[in-house]
Amino acid sequence: MKIETQCLHEGYYPKNGEPRVMPIVQSTTYRFDSTEHIAELFDMPTEFMYSRFANPTVDAVEKKLAALEGGVGAMCTSSGQAAALCSILNICKAGDSFISSSTIYGGTFNLFSVTLKKYGIECVFVDPTLSIDELQKYIKPNTKAVFGETLANPAIKVLDIEKFATFAHNNNLPFLIDNTFPTPVLCRPIEHGADIVIHSTSKYLDGHALQVGGVIIDSGNFNWENGNFPDFVEPDSSYHGMQYTKIFGKMAYIIKARMQLMRDLGCYPSANSAFLLNIGIETLPLRMRQYCKNAEKVAEFLSKSDKIASVNYPTVNHDTEQKKLVEKYLPEGCSGVVTFNIKGNKEDAMRFMNNLKLASNVVHVADIRTCVLHPASSTHRQLTDEQLVAAGINSSMIRLSVGLENVDDIIEDIAQALKFI
Ligand SMILES: *Cc1c(COP(=O)(O)O)cnc(C)c1O
């Protein structure tokens, strides 16, 4: 099936007389005829038993998201942050290290650089423009994974996915990627060699700013039996000696994530949240194409304004390296997020934002309605000046998330607010 069809039909196939719309199974638990049956499920959870780690409504959305990205399985989480956390904890433990591109979302940056460090997991940040040979210098004996973000929030820089995948695979390591901004409609990183894809579903996938959520999708392609990942191969003492690769083959990563991490951490979305997320996904292809069209026009308008110092949006960007990456990875568009620097300081940026009438000041991005945010004073507030530079941000940068209003109205609003600087 093509992606438009998958968005509508994957994950839920009603049988004769069953509800046409995926039902909300609002129940923490499930009834069984015998104690023995439940005991068997504790050895091998083949059926739903408790909604801390699996639920039929969430399961349907997980199947849909796995299909959209071309993976073998998926696990939803209660936020994008929880997805990033679990994606790493499923591989790394205290004493391990992993490599991440420095151009990643501020929340993920803080999770990797501060919180994981407290638990003994080290993240080594690298400049994503380094060559494979230069990247190789950062590999250490305890490096367990490589992480990147397809279209960096908010730097709007496209990652060379194949370069990162090759670098990871040369070292027998999995490559994990955050594909939140493009969504599988604009880019499917597994086709370019990524092993694990994560999303904040709070953004375009939901699209309507209704609920926070995340997902981890497993390509099934990585060989966890290469000697580097004993936790996938050797018996798991917390699960009756379960051997993940032996029992689950290609689904070892995603099943281990659910059986160990979700069981113990419980950062699972509610059925109601999954139901709403599914409604968002149904119209995703239509929305993504229109976001891209609107954003291209807004970026073009901004790039022509004499009040604007620079615009970050791949179609108005003159960086030839970035142009090549856009053609390769995002040929159908680069999402609705445009960042730009106005001529002036932080106060000028804020005055411009305060005078917008249609676009709202919100801590969100990728909504159906146009919104703006000042990253340096909000989402990236915890970063030092050097870290801000590494993440591609400066203090007069504005992140504009172009919505689905008529683009002429969006541009008119920007034009009137620019008069205040
Ligand atoms: C928002 C965002 C996250 C974090 O997701 P939440 O759902 O807010 O926890 C992670 N990555 C990217 C690229 C994001 O934009």
Asked if residue 267 and residue 182 are part of one domain, the reply reads: yes
For tokens 């960042």, name the residue: 339
User: Comparing C-alpha atoms, which of 283, 277, 271, 282 is closest to residue 23?
Assistant: 271
Tokens of 331: 């040929």
The pLDDT score that the predictor gives to residue 45 is 85
**Residue among 79, 81, 276 to mutate when testing ligand 1 (max atoms within 8 A of CB):** 81
CATH number, position 162: 3.40.640.10
Q: Calculate how far, in angstroms, residue 226's C-alpha sits from the geometric centre of ligand 1.
A: 31
Phi then psi for 250, rounded to 5 degrees? Answer: -65, -20
Please work out whether the CB of residue 80 comes within 6 Å of at least one atom of ligand 1: yes
Asked if residue 182 and residue 71 are part of one domain, the reply reads: yes
The model carries a pTM of 0.96
Asked if residue 266 and residue 194 are part of one domain, the reply reads: yes
pLDDT (tens digit per residue) in 294-327? 999 999 999 999 999 999 998 898 788 999 999 9
Q: What is the mean pLDDT of residues 117-126?
A: 98
Asked if residue 203 and residue 142 are part of one domain, the reply reads: yes
Q: What is the mean pLDDT of residues 25-35?
A: 96
Asked if residue 289 and residue 163 are part of one domain, the reply reads: no
Question: 255, 279, 303 — which closes off a domain?
Answer: 279
Question: 228, 246, 279 — which closes off a domain?
Answer: 279
The pLDDT score that the predictor gives to residue 117 is 98
Which runs of E-coded beta strand occur in 299-383? 308-312, 337-342, 360-361, 371-373
Asked if residue 241 and residue 223 are part of one domain, the reply reads: yes
Tokens of 247: 């029992």
Confidence band, pLDDT 50/70/90 cuts, at residue 390? confident
Q: What is the mean pLDDT of residues 249-266?
A: 97
Domain that holds residue 318: 285-418
Confidence band, pLDDT 50/70/90 cuts, at residue 273? very high
The pLDDT score that the predictor gives to residue 155 is 83
Asked if residue 271 and residue 292 are part of one domain, the reply reads: no
The pLDDT score that the predictor gives to residue 28 is 97
pLDDT(185) > 90: yes
Share of the chain above pLDDT 70, in %: 100
User: Which residues 6+ apart lie within 8 Å of 18 measured at CB?
Assistant: none
Which long-range contacts does 407-412 make (Cβ < 8 Å, 24+ apart)? Answer: 407/293, 407/294, 407/297, 407/298, 409/358, 410/294, 410/298, 410/358, 410/359, 410/370, 411/297, 411/298, 411/301
Please work out whether the CB of residue 97 comes within 6 Å of at least one atom of ligand 1: no
Share of the chain above pLDDT 90, in %: 87
Asked if residue 84 and residue 155 are part of one domain, the reply reads: yes
Asked if residue 311 and residue 398 are part of one domain, the reply reads: yes
The pLDDT score that the predictor gives to residue 307 is 95
pLDDT(154) > 90: no
Q: Calculate how far, in angstroms, residue 214's C-alpha sits from the geometric centre of ligand 1.
A: 8
What is the spatial distance between Cα 116 and Cα 93, in angstroms, rounded to a whole number?
Answer: 9
What is the spatial distance between Cα 294 and Cα 297, in angstroms, rounded to a whole number?
Answer: 5
The pLDDT score that the predictor gives to residue 109 is 93
Tokens of 88: 């790493």
CATH number, position 318: 3.90.1150.10
Which atom of ligand 1 is found nearest the CA of 201? 7
Average pLDDT, the chain: 95
**Residue among 200, 277, 363, 371 to mutate when testing ligand 1 (max atoms within 8 A of CB):** 200
Given CA atoms 324, 394, 364, 200 in this order, what sign does their dihedral have? positive
Q: Calculate how far, in angstroms, residue 364's C-alpha sits from the geometric centre of ligand 1.
A: 9
Asked if residue 355 and residue 409 are part of one domain, the reply reads: yes
Tokens of 393: 């941000």
In order of 148, 164, 307, the CA distances from 79 in angstroms are: 18, 25, 37
Asked if residue 351 and residue 239 are part of one domain, the reply reads: no
pLDDT(89) > 80: yes
Asked if residue 300 and residue 165 are part of one domain, the reply reads: no
Please work out whether the CB of residue 211 comes within 6 Å of at least one atom of ligand 1: no
Question: 230, 246, 279 — which closes off a domain?
Answer: 279
Instruction: State the total domains in the chain.
Output: 2
What is the spatial distance between Cα 348 and Cα 300, in angstroms, rounded to a whole number?
Answer: 21
